[in-house]
């Protein structure tokens, strides 16, 4: 196998292992299906281009989060697109019963109301990333992540009770 084929195989494995992260982050910054597809495509390009530069200093999934969030936020800033009109179950495969699926849809709708940094923090926390990993991706200190996460949770609970 030549180097190009080897890189393609590594890339496909990377995408396969991290597709839920990629879908979730793109979904949370998309305002419709076309915008989602644009974000997804841009993330794929950035993952492909950055893959050879991944040094392994962090977990691969942490690096994928960083690339996804940075890509989506950069596009968000350039285009000014925000909001969302896609049903959550069209993008994220929710393998739960109907009551659980309904709760997850509501949770993602509440998360979508958060600002860009809050979305990034809560999505990583929901994927069980440590405070240190979240800090590494966001550029915040560990203590700042902890205090922001506490405020985000309170905000989500308050929004859910309205």
For residue 123, what are its two tokens?
Answer: 């999505």
In the chain, what is the straight-line distance between the N-terminal and C-terminal CA atoms, in Å?
58
Ranges 4-13, 56-65, 101-110: which has the least confidence? 101-110
- Rounded CA separation 16/22 (Å): 10
CB 15 within 8 A of CB 67: no
pLDDT at 88 over 50: no
**Mean pLDDT, rounded, for 108-133:** 87
For residue 109, what are its two tokens?
Answer: 């709708």
Residue located via tokens 């285009």: 79
Residue located via tokens 């084929």: 5
**Mean pLDDT, rounded, for 145-160:** 91
pLDDT of residue 12: 95
Ranges 57-66, 85-94, 145-154: which has the least confidence? 85-94
Residue 153: CB atoms within 10 A of its CB come to 12
pLDDT at 79 over 70: no
């Amino acid at each position: 196998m030549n180097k190009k084929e080897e890189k393609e195989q590594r890339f496909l494995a990377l995408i396969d292992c991290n597709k839920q992260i990629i879908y979730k982050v793109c979904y949370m910054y998309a305002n419709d299906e076309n915008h989602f597809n644009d974000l997804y495509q841009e993330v794929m390009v950035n993952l492909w281009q950055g893959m050879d530069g991944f040094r392994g200093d962090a977990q691969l999934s942490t690096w994928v989060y960083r690339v996804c969030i940075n890509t989506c936020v950069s596009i968000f800033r350039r285009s000014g697109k925000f909001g969302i009109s896609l049903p959550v179950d069209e993008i994220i495969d929710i393998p739960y019963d109907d009551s659980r699926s309904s709760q997850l849809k509501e949770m993602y709708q509440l998360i979508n109301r958060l600002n860009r940094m809050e979305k990034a923090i809560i999505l990583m926390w929901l994927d069980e990333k440590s405070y240190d990993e979240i800090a590494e991706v966001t550029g915040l200190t560990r203590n700042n992540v902890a205090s922001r996460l506490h405020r985000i949770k309170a905000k989500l609970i308050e929004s859910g009770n309205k």
